[in-house]
């Protein structure tokens, strides 16, 4: 994707997800620090920190599981080229009490199957999460289907970015998990053909 289109997509994703956070009155959101080519881009963490009172970011453990820390405005280099928060560690179970989770992905299928980077970190984390799990995607990364392994964990929804500046990014619910009824007023479901 050309840089100008990536910037448009990232900006539309940040705007759409920030609106979802506000519409859901989320008090605690768990997210991630995007790698350079991942949706959301460099501005994602700062925008989320402005939209939610408490933003948790992951810390990669040697086991490939994720610990969590409250984002305090600073990041430090972590393993595998990742950036990590510098605050006190809250433990792997910190995500049990969140209101919403933003999960990284390379692609997602309509049934919620998520293609990640291959380390399995989020397949370890997602069973602990009862809040809706949403992924940001660039256009072309929401697919009809993806191969899945028995250990793969599904996500509840995706926000697909816009690269034209004329349309807006919006939420598509997948068939990946049950969503409390009040969430259905935010975005479309996979059953709507979204």
Domains of the chain as residue ranges with CATH: 3-192 (3.40.50.10420)
From the list 111, 164, 166, 102, the residue with the least C-alpha distance to 137 is 102
From the list 63, 134, 52, the residue with the least C-alpha distance to 101 is 134
List residues bridging with 76 in a β-sheet: 84
pLDDT of residue 187: 56
Render pLDDT for 25-41 as a digit per residue (tens, 0 to 9): 999 999 999 988 899 99
Render pLDDT for 104-129 as a digit per residue (tens, 0 to 9): 999 999 999 999 887 889 999 999 99
Is 115 within 8 Å of 38 (Cβ atoms)? no
In the predicted model, residues of the chain with pLDDT beneath 50 are 188-194
Is 68 within 8 Å of 90 (Cβ atoms)? yes
The strands making up 114-115's β-sheet, listed across from edge to edge, are 114-115, 107-109, 142-143
pLDDT of residue 162: 84
pLDDT of residue 192: 43
């Amino acid at each position: 994707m050309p840089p100008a289109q990536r910037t448009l997509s990232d900006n539309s994703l940040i705007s759409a997800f920030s609106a979802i956070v506000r519409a859901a009155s989320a008090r605690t959101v768990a997210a991630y620090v995007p790698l350079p080519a991942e949706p959301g881009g460099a501005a994602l963490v700062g925008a989320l920190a402005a939209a939610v009172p408490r933003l948790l970011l992951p810390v990669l453990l040697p086991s490939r599981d994720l610990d969590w820390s409250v984002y305090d405005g600073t990041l430090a280099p972590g393993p595998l080229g990742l950036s990590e928060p510098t605050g006190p560690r809250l433990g792997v179970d910190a995500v049990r009490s969140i209101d919403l989770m933003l999960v990284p992905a390379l692609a997602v299928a309509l049934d919620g199957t998520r293609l990640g980077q291959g380390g399995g970190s989020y397949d370890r984390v997602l069973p602990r999460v009862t809040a809706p799990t949403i992924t940001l995607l660039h256009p072309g990364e929401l697919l009809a289907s993806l191969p899945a392994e028995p250990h793969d964990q599904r996500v509840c929804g995706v926000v697909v970015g816009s690269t034209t500046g004329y349309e807006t990014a919006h939420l598509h619910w997948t068939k990946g998990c049950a969503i409390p009824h009040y969430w259905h007023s935010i975005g479309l479901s996979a059953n709507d053909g979204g």
